[in-house]
Amino acid sequence: MRPVTKGNAPNIYANYQDAASDLQSCIGEFCSYCERHIETHLAVEHIQAKTHVPALRNSWINFLLACVNCNSKKGRKKIILDNYLWPDIDNTLMAFEYSTGGLVKVNTTVPASIQVLAMSTIKLVGLDNEPGNPDIKSRPTKKDRRWLRRQQVWQLAEECKNKLIANNTIEVRELIVSNAVGRGMFSIWWTVFNGDQDMRERLRVAFIGTAADCFDHNENLINRVGGKI
Ligand SMILES: [Zn+2]
């Protein structure tokens, strides 16, 4: 899950829907949870449901962006912030692991207490919903194709990596990065380009709003100040 920096509220909103374009300008046209690039129907997501915390209904600090699948899976559950990891607070990239086929798992090298939060976060938005999940309740509905998109993007990223090995030029690097931004799923690209510091930096910079304070000068992940990880 890409960690993001929203910055200060660019405006005061009478209606939360009005924040959508500011959010897209600050953190890109990506679902904050599944990371897909979404051109339309990317909704202003209330971290804490407006039914439970009406005071935060129009509040920038309570906003992220979410696709219909992540939004509907999360629903109106009552959220205790400390029980989950959040892309605008924590170094969420550190807590999750993306592997072949785009599977999302908890990173088992982080402290056990963080692993618990990471698993709760996966379950909250159903990032483990994929056809191979042994738990029937964690298999995707027909309308939920996030798993398929992750699989496709993983494959594309691998192909791009091979093309870069065959033709290692700045132009190919730039082309891959613009392709990546068009698809979304920063975490997958970042994982596949493990070992290529230049590509990782290009990806981090190109995906607008990626939290720079989650990376050191060598593009390694570091704990986020103020975050749980
Ligand atoms: Zn999503």
At 77 the three-state DSSP class reads: coil
Tokens standing for residue 168: 């290692």
Report how far ligand 1's centroid is from the alpha carbon of 27 (Å): 14
Q: What are the domain boundaries of the chain? A: 16-214
Report how far ligand 1's centroid is from the alpha carbon of 170 (Å): 31
Side chain identity at residue 138, one-letter code: S
Low-confidence residues of the chain: pLDDT under 50: none
Report how far ligand 1's centroid is from the alpha carbon of 42 (Å): 9
Helices (H), the chain: 20-27, 68-74, 92-95, 112-125, 146-166, 170-183, 186-192, 197-206
Side chain identity at residue 102, one-letter code: G
Side chain identity at residue 198, one-letter code: D
Report how far ligand 1's centroid is from the alpha carbon of 108 (Å): 23
Report how far ligand 1's centroid is from the alpha carbon of 162 (Å): 28
Report pLDDT for 18: 96
Report pLDDT for 144: 96
Q: How far apart are CA 57 and CA 55, in angstroms?
A: 6
DSSP codes of every residue in 202-217: HHHHHSTTB-GGGB-T
Please give all residues whose CB falls under 5 A of ion ligand 1, grouped by chain where several chains appear. 31, 33-34, 67, 70
Report pLDDT for 40: 85
Report pLDDT for 39: 87
Report how far ligand 1's centroid is from the alpha carbon of 203 (Å): 20
